[in-house]
Amino acid sequence: MDHLSDNALMSEVKSGDLDKLGLLYERHKKTLFGFFYNLGNNPSVSEDLVQNVFMRMLKYRGSYTGKGMFGAWMFRMARNVNYDHHKKTAKEKISWQVSSEELGEASDDGFNESMEREGNSILLKRALAKLSDEKRELLILSKYKGLKFGELAEILGCTEGAAKVRVHRALKELRTIFLELETS
């Protein structure tokens, strides 16, 4: 059963084999957790949001068409879950958090280099926090989660070219903010 594609598993869930949702959960829980955590949610909230995504998948399984990538459908739900959560909790601004695994461990022999990297990562976190939620989300999906522009386009409901432009503009704004922070 583990060898079935995500699309095949979700099609079986749609047909009523709800146990297959458990396989999808095992495959994607870490990715979704990272997505929510990187959007600034604390670990406990991130875990709850992952659960909410799978509850929505179950609830809206009838809307799954099997066209396109399963991951794009899943991340569209994740975006909606995150949006609804922040709307519900009326959170003003989320903070940017990066795990030590993503930053990489500092090596003892390159202390100065690691200090510079650490300083840059702090500036990067601050710069990312200044971006709009939409732009920060785009960069997380494209750069940290490695989604292709076609998948982003499917999630955003736009063309692939428009997705490329949005990511490019988000990166350009991030670079500008980063440089401003670096010189201040």
Domain boundaries, the chain: 1-97, 110-184
Residue type, 76: R
CATH T-level assignment (fold) for domain 1-97: Rna Polymerase Sigma Factor; Chain: A (1.10.1740)
Whether the per-residue pLDDT at 139 is higher than 50: the answer is yes
Angle at 83 between CA 82 and CA 85, to 5 degrees: 65
CB 50 within 8 A of CB 29: yes
Task: Give the pLDDT band (50/70/90) at residue 75.
Answer: very high
**Calpha distance 42→161 (Å, rounded):** 33
Res. 182 pLDDT band, cuts 50 70 90: confident
Give me the CATH code for the 110-184 domain, please: 1.10.10.10
Phi-psi label, residue 99: left if phi above 0, alpha if psi -120 to 50, beta otherwise: beta
Domains 1-97 and 110-184 fall in the same CATH topology: no
Instruction: Decide if 24 contacts 10 (C-beta within 8 A).
Output: yes
Taking the C-alpha atoms of residue 50 and residue 172, their distance in angstroms, rounded to an integer, is 30
In angstroms, the CA 153 to CA 2 distance is 28
Asked if pLDDT for residue 7 goes beyond 90, the answer is yes
**pLDDT, tens only, 93-120:** 434 444 444 334 333 344 344 445 556 7
Query: Span 24-43, mean pLDDT?
Result: 91
pLDDT at position 45, please? 92
pTM here?
0.64
